[in-house]
Structures are given as C-alpha cells and as structure tokens.
Chains A and B, each alone.
Chain A
Amino acid sequence: MVNLNQYPPKNGRNYYLALGLEGSANKLGVGIVKHPLLPKHADSDLSHHCEMEILSNVRDTYVTPPGEGFLPRDTARHHRNWAVRLVRLALKEAGISDPSELDTICFTKGPGMGAPLHSVVVMARTLSVMWDVPLVGVNHCVGHIEMGREITKAENPVVLYVSGGNTQVIAYSENCYRIFGETLDIAIGNCLDRFARTLRIPNEPSPGYNIEQLAYKCKNKDCLVELPYTVKGMDLSMSGILGYVDSLAKDLFNKNTKNKLLFDSQTGQQLVTVEDLCYSLQENLFAMLVEITERAMAHVNSNQVLIVGGVGCNVRLQEMMASMCRDRSNGQVHATDERFCIDNGVMIAQAGLLQFRMGNTINDLAETVVTQKFRTDEVYVAWRE
C-alpha cells in the first residue's frame, strides 16, 4: 500500500495545486490541476483515482507549411515566445492570483527535442526561484500514462503509447513501467507525418488527423494496397514501410504508368488513389500495433488496453484495438480525447503532482537539465503498489 498524503499541501490547505509545463515537440502546453487531500489516499493503491480537477488547460501548437516538418530552432523559438503568455492565461483561467500558492511546478525533463525542452525549462526555473515553489522533472511518457489512467480509471491495462516521437507497449510491474515492445526505428506518428509531407497535405490541425480524414474517403476498402508487414517478435519496424509508400506516392504523382500496382498495364488507367494509400497505410500500421499489443497482453494476462499519445486520437486505431480486446475474454480499450491524447500541460502536472506527493522534488537546479533520451522504464513509480 502507498501513502500519497505524506507531504501535505502548502499553508495547511486541504488540496494540492500543481502547474505543468510541456514542450517536448511542437506543442506548448500549460496546465493547472488540483488534487483534494483525502483520507482514502493515505494507505491504498489509488493513484488513478486522485479526484483530479483541471483548473486550466491551454496549448499552442507550432504548425509548419505543408510539406515541411518542424525543426528544433523554430520550435524552440515558438515555445520561448509563447511560454510567458500561456502561463499568464492558465493562471487567469484557474483563478490563481497568488502563484506562490502552488505546491509544485512540473516540467517535461524528457524525452524530446533538446532546444524546445530547454526553452521551457528556463522559464520553469525562473518561476520556481521567483515564487519559491519546488520543481519536479517529469518523463513525458509517464505523463501520458498517468493522464490516461486518471481520465479512464483503467485498472492496470497494457498501455500502447503512440505519438510522433514514441511507439511503445508498456505494462506496469513492481514500481516500473516496463517496455514490452517498441519501434526499432521510427515512431508511428513520425511515419504518418512524413507521409503527409510527401503528399503535401496541410499540417493544420495535425498531419495525422488529415491522413485519417483521407483514409475515411477511401472507396476501395476491399482492395488493400499490399505493404510490407514488419512485426519483429515483440517489436516493430516502420522505416521500410515509409520508404515504400513514399515511392508509391511519387510514382502516382509522376504518373509512372510502369508501376503495375498503381496503373493498369494495358490501359494505363489509375487504379489507386491517394485516399487508398492512406487507408492501406493505416490498416497496415495499426494491424502491427494490435499484434504487438496483444502479445504483451498475453504475457501479463491482461484484457485491458489504454491507448495514449497523439496517434491515440485516431478512431480507426481505437476500433481495431477494441475488436481485438473483445475477442480476448471481452476486454476493453480505453482512450482519451484530443484534449489529453495530444501533448498537454495537464498530464505533466498530474504525473508531477504524484511524484511530488511521494517526495520526489528537485533540490538543486543542477538536476533540471533536460534530456533528449529518457526511457519510460527509468522512472521509479513510487506512487503505485
């Protein structure tokens, strides 16, 4: 059993307040959460029943023109220039007039892009020194997991974490989020984003969302374009699929009638559309995810799946996963909506506040150096049994 109340809130209050700052990729998120101080948390395993209240959740996304990705320098510039304004907005929305009331300021320590992470931590350190509020460094993946757990209340699910920067299958065991399977090369969100760039579709609201919409419009769902299927045991690889589907798209745009998959060998008529490619790519990638997730579920004897991360917004992925779960002794898939799937500050505040309540605060600013690589299994999950 775990005692989440061992470090009481400030000023004899009966609730905790945490500010969360997220900026590991192109989304800058600021969130403020409140946890009531409840007797049930003194000796239990209820870190997914915090009765968390969201006082504010603001976010600004750095969007690049179609065909372009976001690079560290400009992403860091975006975060630097918006950080103070977003924090001011979040405090206003939360009705906090005296920020020194905060119990903790939580920031993403990693993993992610170096320069953007750094631009956020400079502000976090300044706020901490000015308001005399302790800092907590949070692992981005753990942020997603704890947010998913609190919102969905899923009981010890296998977690599928899928985003632009990460693809991991995770299961909890003995104070550790163990990685059961992961990508051997690129993340699934990265694969979809790069294909979106090849197609030159808009990056607003996100490239993955626009691929999902194109896939819906596919009229040939019965004729899947055959793509490489690259599951490797518990892991998967996607760079080969991306290379191949990119070459198909280029042949399509260049009207390369020699490609018999895309054009009829006799009439030269186009057989496959961009929508068909999007649909087939999703079906292929998602089937691979379902397979490695199922493998992990078999290992830990679970029938629950929690999908977190930006790609978790994808309805088709949720459908395919739900179908597999149902076939496994009527299991369930849990997912959150785009407010929480997509990177946000609230998830950092949630995970950070759990760390804070277990005494894991930073004593020296030297511990606040951000890091591009930070494995999910490096975190000691003190707040769970």
Chain B
Amino acid sequence: MKSVRGSDLPYVLYLEIPFETAAQANTAVKVLSPDPILKPQDFHVRYVADGSKLCVDFESVDDRVLRVGVSSIIESIKTVVETIDEFS
C-alpha cells in the first residue's frame, strides 16, 4: 500500500480488484481515468493496473467525502465488470 502523501488529505482507502487478466485491468484503468474530480482539494483518486489487479488509491479530507467518492467509483467499476462479463 502506498504511503499517505502529506496530511492534507489524511483519510485514505486502498481498494484492490482482481480481474481475470491484465488486459481487463488495463481496460478498467483506461475507462475510469478520464473523469475529473469536482473538488480536487478535498478528494483524490489514482488508478493503477498491477498485472491483473486494479489498484485504486483514494485520499480524502474526511470520512463523508471518502464514503461518497469510494461508493460512486465502485458503481463505475461494477459497470466495467458487468460490461466485460457480458460482451467479451
């Protein structure tokens, strides 16, 4: 797990999603990355594909912003998972 960068966003969560293949994990990174964060001073997210694992690092100013951000991004990840499952 990556260390916290500074203490300006001290509420952090690391999420690991094991896809079947590296190609799937890379697809997820490509699909999730474009969207800008509304308030970058309150919330930050980073996506990395590590082999077939999707690794997501969240950093937030408090628990409330963290909860909203994490849940919303998991909804998008579930869409990616369902789409790959259905159409590959």
What residues of chain A have their CB less than 8 Å away from a CB belonging to chain B?
80, 83-84, 87-88, 99, 118-119, 122-123, 125-127, 129-131, 365-366, 368-369
Contacts and interface: CB of A to CB of B under 8 A. Distances in A.
Nearest to B26: A129
A122 B80 contact: yes
Interface string B14-57: 00000000000001001111111000000000000000000000
B54 to A, nearest CB: 13
B87 to A, nearest CB: 6
Contacts of A99: 87
Contacts of B88: 130
14 contacts: A87-B86, A118-B35, A119-B75, A122-B31, A125-B30, A125-B31, A127-B83, A127-B87, A129-B30, A130-B83, A130-B87, A131-B87, A365-B30, A368-B34
A88 B86 contact: yes
A83 B81 CA distance: 13
A369 B36 contact: yes
Contacts of B30: 125, 129, 365
Contacts of B36: 369
A126 B86 CA distance: 11
B49 to A, nearest CB: 13
A368 B36 CA distance: 11
A122, A126, A131, A365: residue with the most chain B Cβ atoms closer than 10 Å: A126
A126 B80 contact: yes
Interface residues of B, number: 19
B27 A123 contact: no
Contacts of B34: 125, 365-366, 368-369
Given A365-B34, A369-B35, 13 more contacts: A80-B78, A80-B79, A84-B86, A99-B87, A119-B79, A122-B79, A126-B27, A126-B31, A126-B83, A129-B27, A130-B87, A365-B31, A366-B34
A366 B33 CA distance: 8
A124 to B, nearest CB: 9
B61 to A, nearest CB: 21
B65 interface: no
Q: Pick the 9 closest A-B CB pairs, nearest first.
A: A126-B83, A125-B31, A365-B34, A122-B79, A129-B27, A122-B76, A366-B34, A84-B86, A126-B31
B31, B76, B82, B88: residue with the most chain A Cβ atoms closer than 10 Å: B31
Contacts of B84: 126, 130
B83 A80 contact: no
A88 B78 CA distance: 17
Contact of A130 (B27, B32, B33, B75): B27
Contacts of B75: 80, 119
A129 B34 CA distance: 13
A185 B32 CA distance: 35
A123 B86 CA distance: 11
Interface string B66-81: 0000000001101110
Nearest to A79: B79
Contact of B79 (A126, A129, A366, A369): A126
A305 B36 CA distance: 40
Contacts of B86: 84, 87-88
A80 B87 CA distance: 16
A99 to B, nearest CB: 7
A99, A118, A122, A123: residue with the most chain B Cβ atoms closer than 10 Å: A122
A125 B34 CA distance: 10
Contacts of B83: 83-84, 123, 126-127, 130
B70 to A, nearest CB: 16
Nearest to A76: B75
A87 B83 CA distance: 10
Contacts of B78: 80
Contacts of A369: 34-36
B25 to A, nearest CB: 12
B79 to A, nearest CB: 5
Contacts of A118: 35, 76
Contacts of B87: 84, 87-88, 99, 127, 130-131
B56 to A, nearest CB: 15
A84 B31 contact: no
A195 to B, nearest CB: 33
